[in-house]
């Protein structure tokens, strides 16, 4: 009887096992069907540019095991990049690259992720980081013989851009040649419009990088390859006439810029004239693209006119005044108006620039905070997903294990189950610890608010960004010395940005011939004291002291001048001396002549070669690139002093450093 009961139990266990296996097969079939449906839905969302839908599909199918992890991470990165949430995009593409590829489909999305990630890192000037992504990705693709595609070509192109920026032009040229060969191989194999478009974009990127590096002969050479590719495109059965019109216009514009850089002004002008014959040149986009050549050729009036379409184009393409767009469009527009002597327009633009910068910084902070919150929330969701999957796997394995081991021995099954269950709990707990550690790490991630703005603005903003992230990080404990150091550096860099904007506004007025009113009666020694006070108040600990020396008759000497502007000039000269003096001393001497007061600033710094005595007063001139500065301080100082009836000159006879002399009428 007991044996019969035992056999019945075995029959019941076998039936349950068969039912379980059938259910598993049915789920596997449904899973394959679900993956096919997901691909269709994802493609539809991609075509409709519905990026929120892409994120929804990636989350839903990843949790239901509809998409592979690498595929889901690629699509999340793509959607976030289109939504301009670049931190999140980089996070998911980096995850996809770190996963590697284990089959053909994963290899495709691995290559796409490496391509996108490298492209973004190149744009943010993270060249070493780009190389760490692109080089291993190319090696893996080469090992899998997956090299005849646009992703492999772009990785070569990205490596070439990095080599060019890192001062390896010979290596860059080889990488660019390999990239072009790969693009042409893809064209030979596919021969469709998409392959031509990718190759044209690649050549444009290479040419643009050579122009930015002022390697004009290389840029001119690549414009010829550009033309050859366009000629091949025209041989397609149904070439797009509008596309050809636009690309030929670009070809002539790039050629004009390269020839202008080589000094072939006449040929450059002829190439530009050819570009203007296109329909693209009549569009707002074409006019903005033409400003590159016009500004290099110093055709300021034409450049300024073309920039009049900027606001319209930014509205058309839904561009906001981000830090990147300010650098790409607003600053060139300001230079064009300034070069065209549109002083009023330049001044208005400079004033607006302050507001736009302030707004862009605030929006960047808010955007970064939102991205960090999303990233933290995503880490929590992924932690929950890990727990759910672990639980599901545990349950499945538990059922199968119980069924199989019950047939053999019930007691052994119970002991084995307890042991395995304990191990699974330990693994799940370990995975949870790792996930929590990643979540905590993501909450402390520092922000890089600024992409593609001038070095002088980017450096202090990056410092402010880093300290803001430290202060805002939850549970971050800082000792008092660190807090004071953080506060000091935040104040210094805020003042540095304010000073830079102030100098930019002063520069807009630097070439004005307007005489500054001199209605103030003030002691010369008072101007000297005020200039020194401003330097000492804004200076850092350990700065070089300033020794004031009063010549005969200077203590009671009165000036009829503009007190504020005279003090500003002296502040600029003393600040210049502080910047270039590491040790020694700075002297401020006052000397009185028959009708002038001389303010003499002497330092023991690196000095100025006599041949550069006038050159240093030109805008944006910096003789020593190792020192931070804008190259406009001396320009503003001379302009202000001359408009008050005086001057600022360099005494070339002085050899102990540099000696600048400001003169003002008594």
- For residue 12, the cross-strand partners are none
pLDDT of residue 440: 61
In the block, residue with structure tokens 């216009």: 249
For residue range 92-102, what is the model confidence (pLDDT) as tens digits?
999 889 988 88
For residue range 530-545, what is the model confidence (pLDDT) as tens digits?
999 888 876 565 578 8
Query: Residue 581, SS3?
Result: coil
pLDDT of residue 620: 74
In the structure encoding, which two tokens stand for residue 520, read together? Answer: 């103030």
Q: How large a percentage of the chain has pLDDT more than 70?
A: 76
CA distances (Å), 154 to each of 96, 166, 179, 444, in order? 18, 18, 7, 33
In the block, residue with structure tokens 């996108």: 116
Res. 458 pLDDT band, cuts 50 70 90: confident
- For residue 648, the cross-strand partners are 662
Give the whole-angstrom CA distance, residue 431 versus residue 388: 12
pLDDT of residue 114: 92
Would you say residue 31 has pLDDT above 50? no
Give the whole-angstrom CA distance, residue 320 versus residue 322: 6
CA distances (Å), 274 to each of 124, 133, 248, 403, 438, in order? 34, 41, 9, 81, 56
pLDDT of residue 323: 60
pTM of the model: 0.51
pLDDT of residue 645: 92
pLDDT of residue 376: 58
Res. 205 pLDDT band, cuts 50 70 90: very high
pLDDT of residue 445: 36
pLDDT of residue 631: 73
Res. 646 pLDDT band, cuts 50 70 90: very high
Helix 284-296 vs helix 241-261: crossing angle, to nearest 10: 10
**Contact present, 571 and 534 (Cβ < 8 Å):** yes
């Amino acid at each position: 009887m007991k044996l019969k009961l035992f056999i019945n139990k075995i029959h019941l266990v076998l039936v349950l096992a068969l039912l379980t296996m059938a259910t598993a097969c049915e789920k596997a079939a449904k899973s394959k069907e679900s993956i096919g449906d997901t691909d269709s839905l994802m493609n539809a969302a991609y075509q409709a540019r519905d990026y929120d839908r892409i994120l929804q599909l990636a989350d839903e199918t990843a949790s239901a095991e509809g998409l592979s992890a690498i595929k889901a991470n690629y699509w999340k990165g793509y959607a976030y990049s289109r939504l301009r949430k670049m931190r999140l995009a980089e996070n998911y593409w980096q995850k996809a690259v770190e996963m590697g590829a284990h089959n053909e489909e994963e290899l495709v999305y691995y290559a796409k992720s490496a391509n996108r990630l490298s492209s973004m890192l190149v744009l943010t000037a993270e060249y070493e980081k780009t190389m760490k992504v692109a080089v291993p990705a190319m090696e893996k693709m080469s090992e899998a013989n997956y090299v005849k595609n646009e992703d492999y070509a772009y990785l070569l192109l990205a490596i070439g851009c990095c080599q060019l920026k890192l001062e390896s032009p010979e290596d860059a040229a080889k990488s660019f040649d390999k990239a072009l060969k790969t693009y042409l191989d893809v064209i030979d194999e596919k021969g469709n419009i998409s392959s031509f478009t990718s190759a044209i974009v690649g050549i444009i990127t290479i040419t643009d990088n050579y122009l930015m590096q002022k390697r004009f002969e290389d840029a001119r050479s690549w414009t010829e390859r550009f033309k050859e590719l366009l000629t091949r495109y025209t041989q397609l059965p149904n070439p797009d006439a509008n596309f050809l019109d636009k690309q030929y216009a670009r070809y002539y514009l790039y050629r004009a810029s390269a020839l202008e850089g080589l000094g072939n002004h006449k040929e450059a002008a002829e190439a530009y004239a050819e570009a203007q014959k296109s329909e693209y040149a009549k569009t707002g986009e074409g006019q903005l693209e033409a400003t590159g050549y016009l500004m290099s050729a110093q055709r300021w009036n034409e450049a300024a006119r073309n920039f009049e379409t900027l606001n319209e184009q930014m509205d058309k393409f839904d561009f906001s005044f981000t830090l990147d767009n300010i650098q790409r469009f607003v600053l060139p527009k300001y230079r064009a108006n300034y070069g065209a002597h549109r002083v009023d327009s330049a001044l208005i633009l400079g004033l607006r620039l302050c507001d736009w910068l302030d707004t862009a910084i605030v929006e960047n902070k808010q955007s970064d905070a939102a991205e960090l919150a999303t990233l933290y929330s995503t880490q929590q969701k992924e932690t929950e997903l890990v727990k759910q999957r672990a639980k599901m796997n545990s349950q499945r394995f538990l059922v199968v294990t119980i069924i199989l081991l019950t047939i053999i021995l019930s007691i052994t099954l119970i002991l084995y189950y307890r042991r395995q269950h304990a191990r699974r709990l330990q693994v799940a707990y370990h995975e949870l610890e790792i996930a929590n550690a990643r979540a905590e790490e993501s909450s402390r991630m520092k922000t890089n608010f600024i992409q593609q703005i001038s070095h002088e603005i980017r450096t202090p903003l990056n410092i402010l960004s880093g300290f803001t992230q430290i202060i805002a990080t939850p549970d971050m404990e800082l000792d008092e010395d660190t807090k004071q150091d953080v506060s000091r550096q935040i104040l210094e860099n805020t003042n540095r940005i304010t000073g830079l904007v102030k100098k930019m506004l002063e520069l807009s007025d630097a070439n004005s011939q307007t005489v500054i009113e001199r209605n103030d009666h003030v002691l010369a020694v008072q101007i000297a004291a005020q200039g020194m006070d401003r330097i000492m108040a804004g200076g850092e600990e350990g700065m070089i002291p300033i020794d004031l020396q009063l010549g005969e008759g200077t203590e009671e000497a009165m000036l009829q001048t503009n007190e504020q502007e005279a003090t500003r000039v002296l502040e600029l000269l003393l600040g210049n001396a502080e910047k270039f003096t590491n040790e020694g001393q700075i002297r401020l001497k006052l000397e009185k002549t028959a009708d002038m007061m001389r303010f003499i600033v002497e330092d023991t710094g690196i000095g100025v070669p006599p041949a550069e005595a006038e050159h240093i007063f030109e805008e944006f001139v910096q003789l020593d690139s190792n020192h931070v500065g804008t190259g406009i301080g001396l320009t503003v100082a001379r302009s202000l002093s001359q408009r008050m009836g005086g001057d600022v000159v360099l005494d070339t006879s002085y050899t102990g450093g540099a000696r600048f002399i400001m003169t003002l009428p008594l």
